[in-house]
Amino acid sequence: MKIVILDDVTITPAQEERLRRHGEVVIFTGVPTRSEEILTRAEGAQVLVASWTKINAQTLESLPHLQLISIWATGYDNVDVEAAMLLGIRIAHVPGYATEAVAELCFGLMLAVVRRILPADRDVRHEKQLHWNRF
């Protein structure tokens, strides 16, 4: 089985070794933007692991061996899901990825807005002092 990591997906050496137990693993970096580049990277692959690459119907139709696309993210909007389904290509993703981090970021941003942290930061950086009465 040929497994292609299509773009900038970060995997540990242990994860790479685990994939290698299932077949040949080819790892690419950088995000291919042209269909030709995607097809060159993915040629002969049964499995694609991707994160940032947009994979359209035409590209999917040109990959006759492809059986699975594993998206290294929560969303799968970079893949033409309808075309994949019609071609019998399965799609997997990580629906719970970063849930806790997103919640923490939301709370942090709410505090930043309520406490006007960004305007205060700009004030200090430009005027070299904090005018507390503005904030």
Domain boundaries, the chain: 2-92, 99-134
What's the gap between Cα 15 and its chain centre? 17
- Specify the pLDDT at position 106: 96
Reported as a pLDDT band with limits 50, 70 and 90, residue 134 is confident
Residue 35: pLDDT over 80:
yes
Residue bearing the bigger pLDDT, 36 or 132 = 36
- Specify the pLDDT at position 95: 86
Mean predicted confidence (pLDDT) in 17-41 = 95
pLDDT tens, 53-77? 999 999 999 999 999 999 988 888 9
Listed residue (66, 71, 20, 72) closest to 45, CA to CA: 66
Kindly report the pTM of this predicted structure: 0.75
Query: Looking at domain 2-92, does it have CATH number 3.40.50.720?
Result: yes
Residue 132: pLDDT over 90:
no
- Specify the pLDDT at position 96: 82
Outline where 56-98 has alpha helix (H).
57-61, 81-86
pLDDT tens, 94-123? 888 888 998 999 999 999 999 999 988 888
Cβ neighbour number for residue 5 with a 10 Å cutoff? 24
